[in-house]
Amino acid sequence: MKKTWTISLLIVTSLIFLNGCDNDSDITAPTDDQNSLELMLIEETIAAFPLDSLSEEEIAGLELMREEEKLARDVYLHLYETWGMKIFSNISNSESTHTYTIKVILDRYVIEDPVTDDTIGEFENEHLLALYNSLTAIGDSSLVQALTVGATIEDLDIYDLLELTKITDNEDILFAYDNLTKGSRNHIRSFVSKLSGYNIDYKAQFIEEALLDSILSTPKETGNM
């Protein structure tokens, strides 16, 4: 699997600096009640799956995704503070659900949580910390660049999730990864749509271009689980 910490330089060097202006997101932020209900459903659904053994590779994958989803949340919260664009605030809320989903799995298997400090920009993994600093610096340069960072993060998430899906047959983990992948597909649709409004054509950097085209040619996916 292509590790996050081995590709941070690729993300930084492959993004092109361009200028942009503000725009609203077509994603609606959920209410607190909706969030609570979704988290409860996630917990109950995961608890209903059989508990199986885990390989070291599966554990490492869960630890990676726990912090990688936090990375997405933290970057989007930072970019919302910089640009005040709703898409960053709203998608960061979804990323909070994603990282919580992985936390539920970690707790279920009594795996130590790599997120020991939930503060924005704090990571146990030094490579993810460097990646956070690089992505936020790039995103601060212009709004279009910030949207490109968003699309790139989702591109990376989809790639890693698809790779991790290949190494497990545990139903609870597959359930979690499938839901996170669906969320990332919706997120990349939103970011690419915003970029197209500035005549920017996002090119896939991690997943195959054909997969990106397939995602973008299909409508937003609705429903939980």
Please tell me whether residue 164 adopts helix, strand or coil conformation. helix
- Residue 79 in domain: yes
**In this model, does residue 216 exceed pLDDT 70?**
yes
C-alpha–C-alpha distance, residues 161 and 78, integer Å: 24
Angle 43-47-52 (CA atoms, 0-180°, nearest 5)?
Answer: 135
Residue 27: predicted pLDDT: 38
Q: What percent of the chain lies above the pLDDT cut of 70?
A: 84
Angle 157-159-163 (CA atoms, 0-180°, nearest 5)?
Answer: 115
- Residue 225 in domain: no
Question: How many domains does the chain fold into?
Answer: 1
Residue 172 CA to its chain's centroid (Å): 19
Please tell me whether residue 12 adopts helix, strand or coil conformation. helix
C-alpha–C-alpha distance, residues 130 and 133, integer Å: 5
- Residue 183 in domain: yes
**In this model, does residue 58 exceed pLDDT 60?**
yes
Question: Helices H, strands E: what count in the chain?
Answer: 8, 0
C-alpha–C-alpha distance, residues 187 and 25, integer Å: 11
- Residue 23 in domain: no
**In this model, does residue 21 exceed pLDDT 90?**
no
Exposed, middle or buried, 5 (CB in 10 Å: 0-12/13-18/19+)?
A: middle
Per residue in 76-120, pLDDT tens? 999 999 999 999 999 999 999 999 999 999 999 999 999 999 999
Residue 4: predicted pLDDT: 39
Residue 37: predicted pLDDT: 83
- Residue 103 in domain: yes
Residue 3: predicted pLDDT: 42
DSSP state for residue 10 in the 8-state scheme: H
Q: What percent of the chain lies above the pLDDT cut of 90?
A: 78
Q: Which of 189, 203, 208 is nearest to 2 (CA)?
A: 208
Range of the domain at 123: 32-43+53-216
- Residue 177 in domain: yes
Q: How many other CB atoms sit within 10 Å of the CB of residue 129?
A: 16
Confidence of residue 6 (pLDDT cuts 50, 70, 90): very low
- What six digits make up the tokens of 53? 């053994």
pLDDT higher at 6 or 202: 202
Residue 34: predicted pLDDT: 61
Residue type, 14: S
- Residue 171 in domain: yes
**In this model, does residue 186 exceed pLDDT 90?**
yes
Residue 223: predicted pLDDT: 64
**In this model, does residue 44 exceed pLDDT 70?**
yes
Q: What is the average pLDDT across 149-162?
A: 98
C-alpha–C-alpha distance, residues 225 and 196, integer Å: 29
**In this model, does residue 222 exceed pLDDT 60?**
yes
Per residue in 122-135, pLDDT tens? 999 898 999 999 99
- Residue 16 in domain: no
Instruction: CATH number of the domain at 112, please.
Output: 1.20.1260.10
